[in-house]
Amino acid sequence: MSALAVPLVLLAVRLLARRRARDGHPHPTRTAAADVAMVAGTAPWLWMILTPRNVPNTVSLVPFRDLAGLFHGSATTVFVQVGGNLLVFAALGALLPTRVARLASLTGVAAVAAGASCTVELLQYGLRLGRVSSVDDVLINTTGAVLAAAVTRRWWAPRTAAETGVR
């Protein structure tokens, strides 16, 4: 599915960049690529975790309880569950600070990712999707976004005039 989406992603970047160039935006292609990549890198994960299942909803509000139980399972299950949760908001975490200067900090990324993750967990519960709404998922999703942001730190949007060299 990802390979099939590549032409659509490239088309979206091109159209958005063209519109931004026409509007006089200073970096139309760079910002269009970042915006489209944030959406394209996050949407499939959201689709997957908001897909209904035919099991009862459960809620886990005790931090690290689900993680502790998970580590009693197979290594494959741990890898898929933890790895998948780390990737849910990784694209958002990696690219948000490149676009929004006031969020160009690990704390800012953590706040946005935690808020988005809480929203997803509330949707899973409120829409009765047959999912586990867990505080551990919020913690791991947020950690994934922060780690991805740390990797892209050199590309973050400048926050002050001193950082941009403008006086």
Task: Please give the average per-residue pLDDT across 30-58, as a whole number.
Answer: 95
Q: What is the Cα–Cα distance from 94 to 150, expressed in whole angstroms?
A: 8
Write down the pTM of the prediction. Answer: 0.88
What would the pLDDT profile of 82-115 be if each residue is shown by its tens digit?
999 999 999 999 999 998 888 899 999 999 999 9
pLDDT for 160 equals: 55
